[in-house]
Amino acid sequence: MLALHPGLFIHRLCRARGLLEAWSPPPTGQTNCDRQEELCAAVDRKHFSQELVVYREMGGQPPQFKVTLCFGEEFPDNDPVTDKLITVQVELPWARQQLEEVMSFRESMALIQELASESPLREAALDFYGIS
């Protein structure tokens, strides 16, 4: 596994199958890290950033920030991850931090909108106090 600025990459060094469930689509023509000799992009930072912008502005489902690897079995399939023999889940700290910041922003905006809806003039007034 190799983490670089463009994303997270996986290189299979053994003959056993290693399949992944990632939150960014594989590049065109590449299928689920099925070739032993090639570097596989598991996470694309640019794709995550685009999904994060959509979530920030429109809501919906937050983008995923974890990758699950499964060795020796078909994955993803209908069986729960807990039924697999060998799995590894990788969480990307930079992605988690960005998602938490956006979620905090969305919660703040929801509170402001709620306050505005309760105001007789449909506006929210915020007072800022200096700390000395």
Q: Give the tens place of pLDDT for each residue, 72-128.
A: 777 667 888 788 888 888 888 888 999 999 999 999 888 888 887 777 766 655 555
Q: What CATH number does the domain located at 2-118 have?
A: 2.60.200.10
Full-prediction pTM beyond 0.95?
A: no
Interaxial angle between packed helices 45-58 and 93-118, expressed in degrees from 0 to 180 and rounded to the nearest 10: 10
Q: List the domain boundaries for the chain.
A: 2-118
- Comparing C-alpha atoms, which of 44, 40, 50, 48 is closest to residue 20? 40
The beta strands (E) that lie in 1-132 are given as 2-4, 7-11, 18-21, 39-44, 66-71, 87-91
Count of residues for the chain? 132
